[in-house]
Amino acid sequence: MKTRILTELARLVTRHAGRLWALALAAGLALTMASAGPADAHGEKSQAAFLRMRTLGWYDLKWSKTQVNVNEEYEITGKLHIMNAWPASIRVPERCFVNVGQPGAMANRIGVWVGGQFTPRSMELKVGKTYEFRMLLRARRPGHWHTHVQLSVETGGPIPGPGQYIDIKGNFADFTDPVKLLNGSTINLETYGITSIYLWHAFWMIVAAAWIWYWFTRRGLLGRFMWVASGKEEEVITPQERLVGAVTLGATLLVVIIGYSIAASNYPNTIPLQAGDFRNIPAIDEPASPVQIKFLGGTYKVPGRELTANLKITNSGKEPLRVGEFITAGLRFLNPDVYTSKVDYPDYLLAERGLSLSDPSPIQPGETRDVTITIQDARWDTERLSGLAYDVDSSFAGMLFFFSPSGERYMVELSGAVIPSFLPV
């Protein structure tokens, strides 16, 4: 009796479920596409605080332009420090590349130079070293776009740095992407072969739609499940359906082979996209820092968005030095006693009065002083770096900058574990 009921139910479901599933799938896809809005950011705030603070130190970043026209070029330049505090859970950047994070192809990446070397492929960067980089972009799609620098690391994914809004004006239809080929001719890569691309995509979309329609209108997922449940799993796929599957497979392979042969015949001169990695990228040859820092411990007060670090600082140089800035995860916390004028940097990442010291006087040559540095600003929360209080080891990392009267600047990496405090003091 049970088998007969399941069989009858399977027949009913088979008669109508396929069409209902196909219609439901099409409606779901249409609703999903219709409700999708434009991307405005890249989710960098969703990355763990320890990952953003302890991997990369971006500084001296400059966007050559923030308002450009379609086809106009602009640059992003700066320095990238690979932190010594690099977490063990993330693979070190033995294979990585500097990239740009943006909402789709709003600008073309024309070229990237790291350490003065053109790097169109992956490269190796060493922990503890600092590298200069330059990225050249060409504006493509009009709009108001948030553009990041980022380092994409093998197995670790993209680690974004600071971002700036770029306004692109003009008409998208005017964009061109000229590329010189090996034979000396120049093509517009934006439209080159676009007709063939559309035709091939349309062809395979039609094939895929026909394939889905065929199987969903035969019995559908639920109908086939009922057949299996009723003990007729050997009859789920009929000989006719096996024949259709074999013919479709053979035809697909034939089309692929013929298409590949035509492409290889028409375009015999090609080069691989990846032909090896760049090694020995030159790092910045910085003079030895006269500053030695010993981290004595610290706290992070969650209600006050305040990080305090107790340090023993030794100045072994010939000039007095002042602490002027702390950078972590692209955020800049400035000492207003050192930075007395406006700084050109994205406002959402700039805390102009975010750094203070227990003793703000300059550290004299040969002096060793115990100093408590307070780094306080709401941006700890808005950029979700306060999540360090919930990490397993509650560790932070960043770069502390010292300034001399002669204009010299020294960068010292600072890191350590802090004790989180969840109660106001």
In residues, how long is the chain? Answer: 425
The fold for domain 291-421 equals Immunoglobulin-like (2.60.40)
CA distance 131 to 57: 10
pLDDT of residue 104 exceeding 90: no
Give the tens place of pLDDT for each residue, 301-327: 988 889 999 999 999 999 999 999 999
Q: Identify any residues that bridge with 371 across adjacent strands, giving them in sequence order.
A: 311
Domain ranges of the chain: 44-182, 291-421
Tell me: pLDDT of 255 over 70: yes
Place of tokens 């010299």: 408
Mean pLDDT over each residue of the chain, to the nearest integer: 87
- Please give the distance of CA 80 from its chain centroid, rounded to a whole number: 15
Return the top range by mean pLDDT from 23-27, 86-90, 130-134, 209-213.
130-134
- Residue 13: the pLDDT is 47
Q: What is the dihedral of CA 179, 180, 185, 188, to 10 degrees?
A: 0
**Distance (Å, whole) CA 48 – CA 394:** 12
Q: Tell the CATH topology of 44-182.
A: Jelly Rolls (2.60.120)
Count the Cβ atoms, other than its own, within 10 Å of residue 425: 8
Cα radius of gyration rounded to whole Å, the chain: 30
Residue-wise pLDDT tens digits, 183-240? 888 999 999 989 999 999 999 999 999 998 988 887 777 777 787 788 777 777 888 8
363 DSSP assignment: B
- The DSSP output letter for 255 is H
* Cα(89)–Cα(69) distance, integer angstroms: 42
Under a CB-based contact definition with an 8 Å cutoff, are residues 418 and 395 in contact?
yes
Instruction: Specify the 3-state DSSP secondary structure of 411.
Output: strand
Q: Please give, one letter per residue, the 3-state secondary structure of 101-133.
A: ECCCCCEEEEEEEECCEECCCCECCCCCCEEEE
Q: Is the pLDDT of residue 28 over 80?
A: no
- d(C-alpha 420, C-alpha 391), whole Å: 10
SS3 86: coil
The number of CA neighbours under 13 Å toward the Cβ of 244 is 12
By percentage, how much of the chain surpasses pLDDT 90? 62
Question: Mean pLDDT, to the nearest integer, of 259-284?
Answer: 84
Residue-level pLDDT at 249: 95
Q: What whole-number distance in Å separates Cα of residue 360 and Cα of residue 40?
A: 40
Q: Please tell me the distance from the alpha carbon of residue 352 to that of residue 360, in angstroms, as a whole number.
A: 16
Q: How far apart are the first and last CA of the chain?
A: 74
Q: What is the dihedral of CA 85, 86, 89, 91, to 10 degrees?
A: -160
Q: Please state the rounded mean pLDDT for residues 34-49.
A: 61
Q: Please determine, for residue 7, whether its predicted confidence score (pLDDT) is greater than 70.
A: no
pLDDT at residue 171, rounded to an integer: 96
CA distance 50 to 385: 8
Q: Which residues pair with 321 in a beta bridge?
A: 363
Q: Record the pTM.
A: 0.80
